[in-house]
Structure 1
């Protein structure tokens, strides 16, 4: 007890705005359910973790609350029923949860047993060690310091960071709560009723229940709330009181959600024209009339929105949708499922592809060996408070869970999917990648919401986030040779393409390589090559694969030949041929023909092959009314694919090539990074800020911008990718001296002399899609002729970025 008292100053009370991680470890997917030790939550930072990772590597000591939970199946008294009656009672006849004839709720089948303790921990011999532990319950509270008890209680009852993340996504999709029109002139009954500030004194005046209590702001009546969709909830006492009093007192507030922050209070209007959550601006004044001072209240229960999100987060919806389906049960390392967070299947499919040992190189970097200790990964060597928002840490957390098999549940006794009794519904074995979803998508307008998104778009965005994190934290990555830069994860999938253009005017040929590497091959499905085979004539469409009732299934079987729509098949080879085949391109400008415009035939091929090729099939096309239409087609994918025929071999014997364009001399156009300040371009502050936001150093960003002309962020980013491991990358640039005349001289000479600044700005404003540096390069290449400079820009769009880098 002395140790705990000595650390009492390292505690604070969690508020509604604190991120409290009380349901999941920040580094692993361990939770209060996964082991007898549960998780420990720091009472100062409110970050939860397993014991081994509870303190920073340079940390001293801290105070924690241990949370352990277990799910115990309820014992239901047996009733004497016939087999027929038992079958009828279990048969689902309604689409609902917790209602008669519907699916049974978790609360009806299981109860959660919780235990808590106060834990003092300190670093000893490089590891975290427990120095004192005291059970935390009503009997032991009196012996503990008051501050410790208040801190522990605030952590235990807090909705938690996981629910807050889901709630934020839910609120993005939901309509904002309106201000109740009844708040300003709400009737007040002066009946002398005063509400005690002690939560232990609150109870429903109808049923005597002490949970889910709502206070009527007009007459002080305390009643139970409505039932939730899963059968849990209150006694309907508050709503019944509203009806019994003639619908005169519509506004209620949930007791336990009231704090000095008005946004945390859960307010509701029973008025028929509102009937939903509302805001009550004068809530503090109304509560004061009943003896409640908001600045003295603490949040002790979860709001309705938090409970709804929690129910959606914990209920096993797949147990409903797949009930009765004959599936093949599998488990083990690399065979770990991910929980659907609500329309997150697009993300889960991408993560299973990349991080579940399908790609050995990524498994080696972010994952671990089967049955290995997942707490020892090198990327976990950072302070616990930094872990939830660290991209590399959260990626390793997810990959370790998928590759280790640490959270794999036992195989079910049969291949038939059951409901809540299935191990897949046990929170001990369910992995919900909420933290990963949040840290990757929090800055993206679409991926931070709970709406369905495109998997291909998410994959490419994920590569961007990983690239930036790996560049910024390259020293943390495992399996890195000393003095070398570890390859980016996206490089495993990167490839370039070569375009072969045949001019229609003179049949001369031009080869162009793609300006940037691609990580996804998007293939159009050529429906003109589709065929109907015997194997597809009797196949169901995706819509027909939905589960049917016994009666519907019998009817469908009898009429299958009449009602089944035939689904055609396209081979994968057809798709590759369509991608690589001749495509007509109109309006190309040909410099060797005095910039005349002529059409061309284009064929595509691979400049290089990636280690792994990711292919996206374009299943949507624009219909006649310009709306997207999904293609119902089967893709015949072979087990082995030979791409050698799609490799670019360069110019062939006998081909007449388009003459190479005369580019400006590199010796006259290059601006060396170490050139005198008067010869360097002016660095655009906005571009510098964008690059630094990606995690690169100021000096490195300045070097990149100087190299590409001062303002082109994309070109500077490419330069950084190629040169971030140069020995002088982070060295400061040469400082300006008094003789250089400051930045003004650099602005005048950012490119070569003889470029009219007035013409530059005129072209920038007129064209609207080119930067100042690009226009200056074009004017220099065309001897200052504005009309030719515009043509030069449009004809060099593909190679413009590389050209700027070269100068």
Structure 2
């Protein structure tokens, strides 16, 4: 105790505003269920292993609380309680036992360690006891991150009853000591006590469907008092941060969680001073988040098959955090070893999970450091040290709660690092896996470029190659001007995913396999399964459609200073080491809602793209120099046709609005101008005079983006306006693949998403890092299929994602935590495909 007492003055008490990491090691997935548990610093509130804590202390000394948990099988298998609040959620077979101890340590190891429990805690210095209690009862970073995402989807309203809530002056005061709180209905202590803010009555919370939870005392009291005192607050959730307290309204027109702006004043009327109060129980939202994290999905590829489970290096499953299967699938493709370069950079080093230098970051910064969290995640996936005993089968209905928590990898910190500043990925909603993959590569690039000495080239002469370099390719667009036959070549910005439209006009239907007589019997019995023929489109048809010549009407040619038709054709400038292909399986239906295209893709295991290689200018072509096609400033305004202007004005539109429309479409095309008017008539500047020189304003001008890319996407995608495409292209830094994917993933509310982009652009201030100028990798355009991500659901923002990866020549399914040998990989149903260039297979890039 002397060593602990000597360091007692250094201990801090965690407040609701502090970040506390009390559920896992910040550098690995070692958690309280592993041998030795975790040590949480009483100074920084960061949890680590003994080894890492000792390494970080160096010559100094520090105090920690050791948190250890174990599961003990119950004597009865009956469902006796809903164990939300413990790892695993629904637990009808196990109890969780937590033990604690206070540890004094220096760089040489443990100096003193004493058990901490109800019997011993009063023997510790008050400073130490308060610190330990605050860490044990703190929600912790993991739950707070989940809550942050959950609350984005479930915004609590301000109660209409708060401002004028009746107050019964009955002399009742509430003690600040939680040990003195009891239910006035039963006289028992509980973690589910709610205080009525009108009359001071303390009663149990709602009873759950299975009999667990509270006693319904608070709700019963509300009814017994004529339903005139509707607002309650959960005792034990009140802290200095009163906004984080759990408040509820029983009023019939609210009946749900609410915000109470004047909560502090209402509590003070009952004698409760919030200053210094510590959280002692979980809020309803925290319990809901933990329950949601255990939700088991049933719609799974290969459902019902008794698969052979596998485990080990590169075969580690990931816990679904609630709608996070899109992230899990992408992470498996990138970091589990299928892309050996990324596994070498971020994965285990020389067999040591903690040996990656990217983990070398201050503990207080580690949870927010993307490179550290990527290394933490990839090291766990590639080492296999967290894989538990392999079960006998991987039946789809297996309950994740039966898995020992020490073998469950929940990538919360990684999810937060990547998505915390993204409008979609910071939420708890399902997202588009293809969009997430591209955004993740962007984030990694920026983090790697800013890594300094933590990530250098192999010879140490400069920064290392960025991760996206492995997937990067460029396209060449050959544009032929119909007016004079001159040719313009343009090269796109680097892209990381080839997005292909599925040409249903090239689809073929399968032949009936059943004889007519048998089919008639099947139909008579009401079985229409055999009538639901799913068409098939070959990969060759998809890539041919992508590379086909497209006509672009009214393309603005700057060398002509006018518009003219253009013939556009795409080709590939280089063949990257890894090729990501996305199939556009979604389209706008007749009701203008996104719908999935029911089609099989005949995707071969090996493909050749040699014939799509860009060849550059041809002999005898009359070329337009690219610099003459780029305007020096705002594009020159076209001459407005007076006859066209008169036709538009006869339809009732203002002169300024008609001039803007004709200017935007080249000056004379009445039909195109009418369409422009319908799209922009509600613009705030629609009726304003044109700018000097006659230029019309638009949310994104042609100087912001390549109009050739915009018009090509408008033609190829077929269901978006030029302005919508232009906004997406600008948001995606000119990359056509990411722009197409962004558009399809936001079809349900595209106008709102574009408005959010414009708002974010106005407030963000830019400041992105530029990638070093490195020649793109090239080689022979022959590829082998190595992985795929499949999606089940009506659109990419719902349903479920799974990954299938080729490991040692065998296909393996990664369905969140379930990892097993695949019997029938859904190649024809996949949403994304990962190909490896044949001449690079087995020869990882040495710079990674």
Q: 1:604 aligns with which of 536, 559, 570?
A: 570
> How far apart are the structure 2 equivalents of 1:556 and 1:435?
53
Q: CA deviation at 1:187?
A: 4.0
Higher mean displacement: 281-290 or 345-354:
281-290
> How far apart are the structure 1 equivalents of 2:95 and 2:362?
35
Q: CA deviation at 1:472?
A: 0.6
Partner of 1:242: 222
Greater relative contact order (Cα < 8 A, sep 6+): 2
For the residue of structure 2 that corresponds to 1:389, the secondary structure is coil
RMSD over aligned Cα, in angstroms? 3.7
**TM-score scaled by length of structure 2:** 0.69
More strand as a share of residues: 2
Partner of 2:801: none
Q: 1:588 aligns with which of 555, 563, 580?
A: 555
Query: Aligned pair in 2 of structure 1 residues 512, 532: CA closer, same or farther (>3 Å)?
Result: same
Q: 2:490 aligns with which of 500, 512, 516?
A: 512
Match runs of 1:329-728 below 5 Å: 329-368=309-348, 372-420=351-399, 423=402, 425-477=403-455, 480-514=458-492, 516-534=493-511, 559-561=526-528, 564-590=531-557, 594-595=560-561, 597-653=563-619, 655-658=620-623, 660=625
Query: Aligned pair in 2 of structure 1 residues 272, 292: CA closer, same or farther (>3 Å)?
Result: same
Cα contact 2:457–2:463 (8 A) shared by 1: no
Cα contact 1:216–1:251 (8 A) shared by 2: yes
Match runs of 1:294-313 below 5 Å: 294-313=274-293
> How far apart are the structure 1 equivalents of 2:136 and 2:299?
31
Q: CA deviation at 1:560?
A: 3.4
> How far apart are the structure 1 equivalents of 2:218 and 2:701?
64
Q: CA deviation at 1:148?
A: 0.4
Q: CA deviation at 1:285?
A: 4.2
Q: Deviations over 1:231-262 (max 9, x none)?
A: 64112122122223332333222111223332
Q: Deviations over 1:80-129 (max 9, x none)?
A: xxxxxxxxxx9xxxxxx969xxxx972432211101011122224xxxx2
Partner of 2:199: 219
Partner of 1:261: 241
For the residue of structure 2 that corresponds to 1:428, the secondary structure is helix
Q: CA deviation at 1:399?
A: 0.8
For the residue of structure 2 that corresponds to 1:138, the secondary structure is coil
Query: Aligned pair in 2 of structure 1 residues 273, 137: CA closer, same or farther (>3 Å)?
Result: same
> How far apart are the structure 2 equivalents of 1:74 and 1:436?
34
Cα contact 1:46–1:155 (8 A) shared by 2: yes
Query: Aligned pair in 2 of structure 1 residues 422, 200: CA closer, same or farther (>3 Å)?
Result: closer
> How far apart are the structure 2 equivalents of 1:393 and 1:644?
39
Q: Deviations over 1:342-399 (max 9, x none)?
A: 22222222111111111000000001269x3312211111110010111110111111
Cα contact 1:189–1:219 (8 A) shared by 2: yes
Cα contact 1:105–1:231 (8 A) shared by 2: no
> How far apart are the structure 1 equivalents of 2:568 and 2:52?
57
Partner of 1:51: 50
1:30 and 2:46 are equivalent in the alignment: no
More helix as a share of residues: 1
Query: Aligned pair in 2 of structure 1 residues 659, 244: CA closer, same or farther (>3 Å)?
Result: closer
> How far apart are the structure 1 equivalents of 2:114 and 2:390?
37
Query: Aligned pair in 2 of structure 1 residues 224, 389: CA closer, same or farther (>3 Å)?
Result: same
Q: CA deviation at 1:400?
A: 0.9
Q: CA deviation at 1:332?
A: 1.8
> How far apart are the structure 2 equivalents of 1:482 and 1:584?
49
Query: Aligned pair in 2 of structure 1 residues 282, 493: CA closer, same or farther (>3 Å)?
Result: closer
> How far apart are the structure 2 equivalents of 1:130 and 1:11?
17
Unaligned stretches of 5+ residues in structure 2: 516-521, 633-690, 706-725, 735-771, 774-848
Query: Aligned pair in 2 of structure 1 residues 59, 223: CA closer, same or farther (>3 Å)?
Result: farther
Q: Deviations over 1:550-601 (max 9, x none)?
A: xxxxx99954345752110111111111111111122235566x44543232
> How far apart are the structure 1 equivalents of 2:206 and 2:312?
42
Query: Aligned pair in 2 of structure 1 residues 348, 199: CA closer, same or farther (>3 Å)?
Result: same
> How far apart are the structure 1 equivalents of 2:179 and 2:386?
39
Cα contact 2:26–2:46 (8 A) shared by 1: yes
Query: Aligned pair in 2 of structure 1 residues 177, 657: CA closer, same or farther (>3 Å)?
Result: same
Partner of 1:108: 92
Higher mean displacement: 48-57 or 129-138:
48-57
For the residue of structure 2 that corresponds to 1:376, the secondary structure is coil
Q: CA deviation at 1:625?
A: 4.3
> How far apart are the structure 2 equivalents of 1:135 and 1:556?
72
**TM-score scaled by length of structure 1:** 0.73
For the residue of structure 2 that corresponds to 1:241, the secondary structure is helix
For the residue of structure 1 that corresponds to 2:578, the secondary structure is coil
> How far apart are the structure 1 equivalents of 2:489 and 2:561?
17
Q: CA deviation at 1:507?
A: 4.3
Higher mean displacement: 448-457 or 292-301:
292-301
Unaligned stretches of 5+ residues in structure 1: 79-89, 91-96, 539-554, 670-760, 776-793
> How far apart are the structure 2 equivalents of 1:174 and 1:143?
43
For the residue of structure 1 that corresponds to 2:92, the secondary structure is helix
Cα contact 1:369–1:403 (8 A) shared by 2: no
Structure with larger Rg: 1
Partner of 1:60: 60
Query: Aligned pair in 2 of structure 1 residues 570, 240: CA closer, same or farther (>3 Å)?
Result: same
> How far apart are the structure 2 equivalents of 1:651 and 1:389?
48
Query: Aligned pair in 2 of structure 1 residues 356, 772: CA closer, same or farther (>3 Å)?
Result: closer
For the residue of structure 1 that corresponds to 2:566, the secondary structure is strand
Cα contact 1:257–1:265 (8 A) shared by 2: yes
> How far apart are the structure 2 equivalents of 1:156 and 1:599?
69
> How far apart are the structure 2 equivalents of 1:633 and 1:479?
45
Partner of 1:168: 148
Q: CA deviation at 1:416?
A: 2.9
Cα contact 1:524–1:578 (8 A) shared by 2: yes
Higher mean displacement: 250-259 or 145-154:
250-259
Cα contact 1:28–1:375 (8 A) shared by 2: yes
Cα contact 1:32–1:68 (8 A) shared by 2: yes
Partner of 2:133: 153
